[in-house]
Structure 1
Amino acid sequence: MAGTALIAAPSLLSSTANAFEKQSTVNKQDRLKLGMAGYSFVHFDLDQSLAMMKRIEVRYLCIKDFHLPLTSSAEQIAAFHKKLADANVKGYAVGPIYTKTTADIDKAFDYAKRVGVDLIVGIPEIKDLPYVSQKCKETNIRYAIHNHGPEDKIYPNATVIWNNIKALDKNVGMCFDMGHNMRDGQDPLKDLLRYKDRIFDLHLKNVTSATKDGKTCELGRGVIDIPAFTKGLLKIGYKGSCSIEFEKDMKDPLPGIAETVGYFRGVLSAI
């Protein structure tokens, strides 16, 4: 009997060590919240999108209006949330929502309230920013302005957003698209550290070059130093979602998204 115990002990120790190592890896990966930007699924209905999220085990979704229209009824919103819950997914924000008037902004805030989220990703006109600030104060809903790179004549990068919001209510911030920021010749890591207090959401992506012609690519294949950027996220204690916005092969995005998820989790495990 004693001999059997001695033989079993190394096996037990090895099993315990493996379990501890696995748990440690999971905990490391949980330090940052990985999500999906709904736009990645522009060519897919909600059921197809949730099926892809299940395969990659990503649990957070920024809701786009092609999956849940702004005019949705209470019943439609409830049915939408049930589908998400059944897939173990949480809708944490809505957008991006483009607005041209204050009436459009009212609709966006009303939509967020009815959907039950406290974050809007939006692209408002500069002239309407004071009104956005007012709505944030009234509703306690945060508003994150999205930068879209050199083609965007209003918000090409994080610095332009910051210069327009720094005097506004603290609930007005940005959805920091690190890829588009790089395409506009900016430094994503420096801007992450510089504007950390007003970055409410993050579009996690890489790009093929730091130029207007740069294209979205799998996270580990582009010009942004992802390990350094990830260390930056941990350094600032980033609490928002790191949502993958995958704009390559958009009619067949799952392989690229899966590679991106695996790479990001591998980086988190290694840091």
Structure 2
Amino acid sequence: METRRTFIQKGLLGVSAAAMGGSTAWAHANSGHNDVRSNDRFELGIAGYSFVHFGLDESLAMMKRMDVHYLCIKDFHLPLTSSDAEIAAFHKKLADSGVTGYAVGPIYMTKSKTEIDNAFDYAKRVGVKLIVGIPNKEDLAYIADKAKAYDIRYALHNHGPEDNLYPNATSIFELVKNLDERMGLCFDMGHNMRDGQDPIKDLERYRDRIFDIHLKNVTAATKEGSTCELGRGVIDIPEFVKTLRKVGYAGKCSLEFEKDMKDPLAGLAECVGYFKGVSDASA
């Protein structure tokens, strides 16, 4: 009997085979040809935490099968202490798989300002212009100065009702609204919903300070809610996508899938297909 997982995996193989007929979309992009992805307003990525149980090679193989081309880099794939040679090798491996590392994090930096300094140095050496971070509130002015000096945007991540620092988008916006414009949000829409907030209204409210989105759905708008496949939760994803278009969101939408984390491919693939379908339907 064919399970939902094997059905999705077979479908992915078919899609991948069709997409790779002749030359790949990635090869077209690099050779100056038109690329379907370049016409899609929303650049779909994967938040590195989705692959916490997998090495880089396994993670990139899954991304290739799903035809997803952006990765928010976690330090278990590229440690903060990496040498320049190790960073170069990392980027080459991503490029060979048609993937771009667009940001680093989330990085926790609650012990000392040295952690903040190291994070900005790391981001500069990695060559990204966005850090997703979790700092102490009293360090935000210091971080704003660093963001300005490095010209790197800093996005605070909200983690829901269990998070005493940043439970939702509003809690972050109120702290950064008067700081340098490089200070903003990595908007975790699922955790925002779990804290009883409205992710669609908050996307519209805080559009100018949302630099990154952790794209997910959840089973309930309560603390007990958990991550589920994108089309199966309580967040109205078609309406969320319409609002993305309405506000002109230009950042990445990175899937963070915290269900079946030791076997995430089927769930992630379902999310990818659903999001692309909804995006195409609303274009």
Partner of 2:271: 260
Structure 2 vs 1, CA of residues 90 and 28 (structure 1 numbering), >3 Å: closer, same or farther? closer
* Distance apart, 1:28 and its partner CA: 9.6
Match in the other structure for 1:245? 256
Q: Does the CA-based 8 Å contact 1:28-1:268 persist in structure 2?
A: no
Report the alpha carbon displacement of residue 269 of structure 1 after superposing the two structures with TM.
1.2
Q: Which residue in the other structure is 1:86 paired with?
A: 96
Query: Residue 51 of structure 2 aligns with which residue?
Result: 41
Q: Is the 8 A contact 1:29 1:269 kept in 2?
A: no
The answer to whether the Cα contact below 8 Å between 1:99 and 1:125 also exists between their aligned partners in 2 is yes
The structure 1 segments of at least 4 consecutive aligned residues displaced by more than 2 Å after TM superposition are: 26-29
Counterpart residue number, 2:28: none
Structure 2 match to 1:233: 244
Q: How does 1:89-128 map to 2 (within 5 A)?
A: 89-100=99-110, 101-128=112-139
Query: Which of the two has higher C-alpha Rg?
Result: 1
> Against the structure 1 CA distance between its residues 28 and 188, is the aligned structure 2 distance closer, same or farther, given a 3 Å change threshold?
farther
Query: 2:29 corresponds to which residue?
Result: none
Residue-by-residue CA offset, 1:111-164 (whole Å, 9 max, x unaligned): 000000000000010010000000011110000000000000000000000111
Equivalent in the alignment of 1:159 = 170
Aligned sequence identity (%):
71
Gaps of 5+ in 1: 1-25
For 1:39 and 1:171, the matched residues in 2 are separated by 24
User: Does residue 168 in structure 1 map to residue 179 in structure 2?
Assistant: yes
User: 2:193: which partner in 1?
Assistant: 182
Kindly indicate whether the alpha-carbon contact (under 8 Å) linking 1:29 and 1:268 is maintained by their aligned counterparts in 2: no
The Cα of 1:53 is off from its aligned counterpart by: 0.1
Aligned mates of 2:280, 2:168 — CA distance in 1: 30
Against the structure 1 CA distance between its residues 241 and 248, is the aligned structure 2 distance closer, same or farther, given a 3 Å change threshold?
same
Q: Structure 1 residues 27, 33: closer, same or farther in 2, change over 3 A?
A: closer
**What amino acid sits opposite 1:88 in the alignment?**
G
Q: Take 2:148 and 2:39, find their aligned partners in 1: how far apart are those partners?
A: 34
Alignment of 1:192-211 (within 5 A): 192-211=203-222
Cα distance in 2 between the residues matched to 1:27 and 1:256: 22
Give, in angstroms, the shift of residue 102 of structure 1.
1.2
Task: Find the residue that maps to 1:189 and give its secondary structure.
Answer: helix
Question: Is contact 1:37-1:62 (8 Å) kept?
Answer: yes
Measured after TM superposition, the shift of residue 191 of structure 1 is 0.3
Equivalenced residue count is 246
Report what 1:22 is aligned to.
none
Q: Name the counterpart of 1:142.
A: 153
- Tell me by how many angstroms 1:27 deviates: 6.6
**In the alignment, which residue of structure 1 is the partner of 2:4?**
none
Query: Secondary structure in 2 aligned to 1:247?
Result: coil
Tell me what 2:5 maps to. none
Does 2:277 correspond to 1:270? no
Structure 2 partner of 1:61: 71
* SS across alignment from 1:122: strand
Q: What stretches of structure 2 of length at least 5 have no aligned partner?
A: 1-35
Q: CA RMSD in A?
A: 1.0
By how many angstroms is 1:55 displaced?
0.3
Output one character per residue of 1:62-97: Cα deviation in whole Å (capped at 9) or x when no partner: 000000000000010000000000000000000000
Q: Residue 29 of structure 1: CA displacement?
A: 7.1
Tell me, in whole angstroms, the C-alpha distance in 1 between the residues paired with 2:271 and 2:164.
29
TM-score (norm 1): 0.90
